[in-house]
A and B are shown apart, each in its own frame.
Chain A
Amino acid sequence: MNLQQLRQLQPYLWSLPRASGEKRAEVLLYGTAPLLESMDDKVLEQIANVAALPGLVGAAMTMPDAHWGYGFPIGGVAAFDAEQGGVISAGGVGFDISCGIRCLRSNLDLHDAAAHFTRLADTLFHAIPAGVGEEGDLKLNPAQLDQVLQDGAQWAVQHGYGNAADLEYVEEHGRVTGAVPDYVSELAKKRQRGEMGTLGSGNHYLEVQVVERIYDSATALAFGLHQGQIVISIHCGSRGLGHQVGTDYLLMLAKAAGRLGIHLPNRELACAPIKSPEGRQYLGAMNAAINCALANRQILTHLTRSACTQVYPHAELETMFDVSHNTCKVETHEIDGKPRLLHVHRKGATRAFGPGHAMLPERYRAAGQPVVIGGSMGTGSYILAGSSGNPAFSSASHGAGRAMSRHQALARWHGRELINELAQQGILIRTRSMRGAAEEAPGAYKDVDLVAEATEQAGLARRVAFLRPKVCIKG
């Protein structure tokens, strides 16, 4: 991205000035000059298109890890007011609806656990269905699946997958309201038949990590984290059902836009007024897919616990937090001193409520919401906490962001060699896909340290802990 077209407002905040006659809201980009320079110009084009959509409140924004997506850029945040003709966009949520990270803290320390990492890797790899073509053991009939779509992780807990304490630390207590299973197509439901409790592939993972560095001792204490502790992060989403909901509605909304009087700068922005029948239908289906994702991560949490206790009989895994990063959520935000109900799209961006927010569990209310910036399998991830006065509708970065395309990565790395190199560094990878491993090479990602630092300096979230991978199950 050429920075000459931007205006630097603060050390970590930039804006894109409007061209003469250009009708759109403000565009704000969070990050450092090097991070922004590493982004494709398409990021700017896409977020400027978002800023031209009806009913946008404030500015269309990108997080420090932004990269070129479809419709919205990944790392894009945009809030719309239904009462002002605001829209909901399928491209603003993405295909993997409610993709997110469940982070589990353990009572294990590296010192005690390390001797059994090989066995742990093999046991987890056997227990967690991962990768293309892999199915889970749980097969739901249509009525049961509709219950999952209504009740999310609460369904899973009620059926023996995990415990009630987990739900306290999942967004919306594991169940979003407004889900309408009837708005989810039959094909979407059939796609999910073998995919409940599966990890998927691509950038999805289950990672055993060690807390290597603490940045903020008081918040780490509130989050139950300490140096040397083992934590497990599960990154996945709504699987085939969510992918099909995204597919179905991307086309439906793209076709409907003209009839609904919406000018789309590019039809990949497919959207509809929130109050239109099409908008309400997508909302109902999207919320059902969110519940599917929450249930999926809950089931995987249960499978992970079972696998861990086979290796460490005294292991206890508590849900630290579960946060989604491909969603549209209805939230109240203060705009010009007045509370307004907004539909906040976060496409590859994490919700990051600051200290005192009423929706946070009591344990974290003084500290702020746990935020996870997932890094590559060779570098590490960050736990952060939502900052007071977050200026981006309480949003923050969600990952390192890719530095090179999948094809570039495939040309540069070979899966087996990469896995061997990582093993030399003490990181055990288990995967069925050598292609997938090569595409996810640590060198294909941006420097997660820079993203986390920029996220903190921009006032989006503050660093709490750094996690180093030890075992990684890839799809």
Chain B
Amino acid sequence: MPTSSSLYFEHDADIGIIGRGMTVEQAFEAAAQAVFAIVTNLDLVQPSSTLTLEFEEADPELALVTWLNLLLGKSREQGMIFSRFHVQHHDNKWRAEALGEKWHAGLERGVEVKGATLTMLSVKQTGAMWEARCIVDV
């Protein structure tokens, strides 16, 4: 049984993303996968380069939005696409790694994600599972 999963929910103009995992960190990793799977087919992305990200945020919901937007900002700044993610956090300090590669002709072109919004935003634990969700603007 997988320990995390990426899903979507409906929104009129944009896309609702969901990340689920056994920990909040896994839920954040799955949420990032849901975002980048909109941008390209992640199976074709080689995780050959690693980017390290750090930020501070006490509110888990705002941390989700900060995490996703940092990823989106850095991917566009560096012309990269990410497919794998590792998140750690202690108190309000978050540290993460994103693995991927530069854009090239062999990658599928999906749809650009402009940013993660505060709409339908939630990070919560239900039973044994954590779930992180929000609307992303495309």
Query: How far is it, in angstroms, between the C-alpha of A131 and the C-alpha of B138 when the chains are bound?
Result: 12
Q: Which residues of A have CB within 8 Å of B87? A: none
What is the distance, in angstroms, from A319's C-beta to the closest C-beta of chain B?
A: 26
Which one, B18-26, B61-69, B123-131, is touching chain A? B61-69
Task: Tell whether B137 is near chain A: CB-to-CB under 8 Å.
Answer: yes
Q: Return the chain A residue nearest B110 by Cβ.
A: A435
- Contact string against A for B residues 81-125, beta-carbon threshold 8 Å, 1 for contact and 0 otherwise: 100000000000000000000010001111110111111010000
- The A interface is mostly helix, strand or loop, or mixed, namely mixed
Task: Tell whether B5 is near chain A: CB-to-CB under 8 Å.
Answer: no
Task: Tell whether B43 is near chain A: CB-to-CB under 8 Å.
Answer: no
Query: How far is it, in angstroms, between the C-alpha of A323 and the C-alpha of B10 when the chains are bound?
Result: 30
* A244 with B73: CB separation less than 8 A: yes
Considering only CB atoms and an 8 Å cut-off, how many residues of chain B contact the other chain? Answer: 37
Q: Which residues of A have CB within 8 Å of B8? A: 407
Q: Which residues of B have CB within 8 Å of A91? A: 117-118
* B14 with A131: CB separation less than 8 A: no
* B112 with A200: CB separation less than 8 A: yes
Number of A-B contacts (CB under 8 A): 132
Q: Which residues of A have CB within 8 Å of B115? A: 95, 243-244, 246-247, 250
What is the distance, in angstroms, from B93's C-beta to the closest C-beta of chain A?
A: 17
A/B interface sample: 15 pairs, CB < 8 A: A69-B14, A74-B13, A94-B137, A95-B117, A95-B137, A96-B114, A132-B40, A191-B76, A201-B111, A251-B66, A270-B118, A405-B10, A405-B12, A435-B109, A435-B110
B-binding residues in A (CB < 8 A)? 40, 42, 67-71, 74, 91, 94-96, 131-133, 135, 187-188, 190-191, 193-195, 200-202, 240, 243-244, 246-247, 250-251, 254-255, 266-268, 270, 402, 405-408, 432-433, 435-436, 439, 475
A-binding residues in B (CB < 8 A)? 8, 10-15, 39-40, 62, 65-66, 69, 72-74, 76-77, 79, 81, 103, 107-112, 114-119, 121, 135, 137-138
